[in-house]
Amino acid sequence: MPDGFIERPTALITGAGSGIGREVSILLASAGWRCVLAGRREDRLRETAGMLSGPSLTAACDLDSAAAAERLVGEAEAWAGPLDAVINNAGWSPVANIEATEGALIERIFATNAIAPAAIIARAWRAMASRARAHVAEGRRPPRVAIVNISTMGVHDPFEHLYAYASAKASLHLMTRCAANEGAALGVKAFAVAPGAVETKLLRQLADERVLPRQFTLSPRAVAEVIVACVRGERDADNGGVVWVPSPPMPATKP
């Protein structure tokens, strides 16, 4: 077991193989956290792990169902015990307008973007709540737990061709409020972070740089810094709500 393992709080980060998830992992590890890195590709997760300054566990999985999400939490807790932070960052969507969005595709989009985060929270809640109640029974304050759900500005201003994706992400906002309300006595804080256009592979499937130049997008690190601020207790005024992170505005086109 690595030195300092027991003393370090533990975060589960989904979508940790690249982009926002990787940057969150790097920032948390540098702040003394141990990280459970979840994502579809083991090689990318190992790349992330190699960038971290502390202990980490790589957990390759496809979060396409509640069962997969529950297995992931079980693996994380077997390694580190109750979680101190859950970062529901993994997301997926093809480019599809409403007419092209068939039932099977809707199910897949909602499985990754809504069902899996809901199942992760519910499965992790049991151990977190049990630990909190044990602290209260001993006359101690429950440990702080942070849940951060990564949404999108597309919920506020829907992006073209992301009908099902934006709809699924909208459910994270209500999950966040429910977790904050129910977790108030358990030391749980919950946040939704909704960024605008972030320089990621998904973004470039939607718009190339001729349509949306890089200077009008957010860097993954900029979004990660907001997420980590939520985890560290620097954004508690936003508990239960949505932290909107708009991308730099495009200049108005002349008529």
The rounded percent of the chain whose pLDDT value lies above 90 is 77
Q: Examine the pLDDT at 81 and tell me if it is beyond 60.
A: yes
According to DSSP, residue 238 is labeled G
In tens, the pLDDT along 134-157 reads 999 999 999 999 999 999 988 998
Beta bridge partners of 147: 86, 190
pLDDT for the residue numbered 93: 85
Under CATH, domain 10-245 is a member of which superfamily? NAD(P)-binding Rossmann-like Domain (3.40.50.720)
Could you give the CA distance from residue 167 to residue 146 in angstroms, rounded to a whole number?
A: 24
pLDDT grade for 254, boundaries at 50, 70 and 90: very low
One-letter amino acid of 236: D
Q: Examine the pLDDT at 3 and tell me if it is beyond 50.
A: no
Q: Examine the pLDDT at 245 and tell me if it is beyond 70.
A: yes
Beta bridge partners of 35: 11, 56
pLDDT grade for 250, boundaries at 50, 70 and 90: low
pLDDT for the residue numbered 251: 66
In tens, the pLDDT along 23-68 reads 999 999 999 999 999 999 999 999 999 999 999 999 999 999 999 9
Q: What is the mean pLDDT of residues 184-213?
A: 81
- pTM metric for this prediction: 0.92
Contact 247, 217 (CB under 8 A): yes
Q: Examine the pLDDT at 253 and tell me if it is beyond 60.
A: no
Could you give the CA distance from residue 107 to residue 130 in angstroms, rounded to a whole number?
A: 33
